[in-house]
């Protein structure tokens, strides 16, 4: 199919068809599904599609704070022979380096790597909450530098992965941090993101910042969220709470297991796609070495 210039391809032509031509730039898409259902592979497809459409692959921001990171590198290598470069969370990016492509153009950042923290308020006592919030704030500058540095180099899509399930989004440190990233980095004009990053050094760098301005309205965001629900039917019936990240999403893609004639399978469904016509089919898919394979 021919991609419209006003749409972002998911990297899967069948899914683009379901979405009426692809995802709308400048919006958030949420992908919901249980562990192992194929969300990260979908994120790889979407990020890789940026290479042919915008000239730059997308970037990954891993929100995992317990256990290992997501398998972005393994999947990308297997699916597209793409060697993902990772920004070290332990080495701060110095501001003069922000314009140096060799220093800032990295595919992935796992800023909470090996912190060992749980992701909900109820997991922590008052002192632990204060300590964890302080750590979040320390990581904030690295987060801003990662996104800003990639966006000034032409990146126009990002995948946020590692979001763990919580009974309420308002109780989750991850969702709190994601809201900041989305509202204060992804959806903010580049000049104001630069002001947050450079702070007292903004004025002396104003000229070069202006030369590297980018259009934030063209950036697409794919948020991958793990759910307790494994069956697609349960995801379709899942209610959306007021203030839930789902209520603010432009597009919601559900991925779950199905049972047909006693056989288990996988299928996806586009349950929401504001501002665009979309097909409401339930589409079976499989996963192989090339990633997701959707039925015609």
Give the strand order in the sheet containing 59-62.
86-87, 108-109, 59-62, 157-163, 220-226, 28-33, 251-260, 263-273, 282-288, 291-294
User: pLDDT at position 241, please?
Assistant: 66
Domain map of the chain by residue range? 13-294
Mean pLDDT of 255-281: 94
Q: Render pLDDT for 154-176 as a digit per residue (tens, 0 to 9).
A: 999 999 998 887 766 666 778 87
Mean pLDDT of 245-274: 93
- How is 112-128 classified by DSSP, letter by letter? TTT----SBGGGS-HHH
Q: Render pLDDT for 101-141 as a digit per residue (tens, 0 to 9).
A: 999 999 999 987 755 555 566 777 778 777 777 777 778 88
Residues contacting residue 254 through CB under 8 Å, at least 6 positions apart: 31, 32, 33, 232, 235, 236, 268, 269, 270, 271
Question: Contact 266/283 with Cβ under 8 angstroms?
Answer: no
Q: How many CB atoms lie within 10 A of CB 114?
A: 14
Q: How many CB atoms lie within 10 A of CB 106?
A: 18
Rounded-to-integer distance, Cα 82 and Cα 121, Å: 37
Mean pLDDT of 267-275: 95
For the full predicted model, state whether its pTM sits above 0.75: yes
Q: Give domain 13-294's CATH superfamily.
A: P-loop containing nucleotide triphosphate hydrolases (3.40.50.300)
User: pLDDT at position 167, please?
Assistant: 67
Name the residue among 29, 33, 5 with its Cα closest to residue 15: 29
Name the residue among 228, 292, 283, 293 with its Cα closest to residue 258: 283
């Amino acid at each position: 199919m021919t991609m419209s210039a006003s749409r972002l391809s998911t990297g899967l032509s069948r899914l683009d068809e379901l979405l009426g031509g692809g995802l709308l730039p400048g919006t958030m898409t949420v992908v919901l599904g249980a562990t192992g259902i194929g969300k990260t592979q979908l994120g790889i497809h979407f990020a890789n599609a940026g290479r042919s459409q915008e000239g730059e692959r997308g970037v990954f921001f891993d929100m995992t704070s317990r256990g290992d990171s997501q398998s972005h590198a393994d999947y990308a290598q297997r699916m597209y022979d793409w060697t993902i470069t990772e920004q070290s969370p332990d080495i701060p990016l110095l501001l003069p380096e922000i314009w140096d492509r060799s220093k800032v153009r990295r595919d992935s950042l796992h800023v909470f790597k090996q912190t060992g923290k749980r992701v909900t308020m109820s997991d922590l006592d008052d002192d632990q909450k204060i300590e964890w919030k302080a750590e979040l704030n320390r990581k904030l500058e690295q987060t801003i530098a990662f996104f800003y540095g990639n966006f000034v180099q032409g990146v126009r899509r990002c995948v946020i992965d590692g979001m763990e399930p919580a009974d309420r989004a308002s109780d989750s440190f991850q969702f709190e941090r994601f809201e900041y990233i989305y509202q204060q980095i992804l959806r903010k004009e580049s000049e104001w993101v630069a002001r947050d990053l450079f702070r007292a050094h903004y004025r002396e760098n104003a000229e070069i910042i202006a030369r590297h301005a980018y259009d934030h309205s063209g950036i697409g965001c794919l948020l991958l969220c793990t759910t307790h629900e494994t069956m697609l039917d349960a995801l379709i019936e899942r209610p959306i709470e007021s203030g839930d990240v789902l209520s603010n999403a432009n597009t919601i893609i559900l991925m779950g297991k199905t049972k047909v004639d006693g056989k288990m399978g996988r299928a996806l469904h586009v349950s929401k796609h504001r501002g665009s016509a979309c097909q409401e089919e339930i589409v079976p898919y499989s996963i192989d070495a090339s990633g997701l394979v959707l039925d015609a």
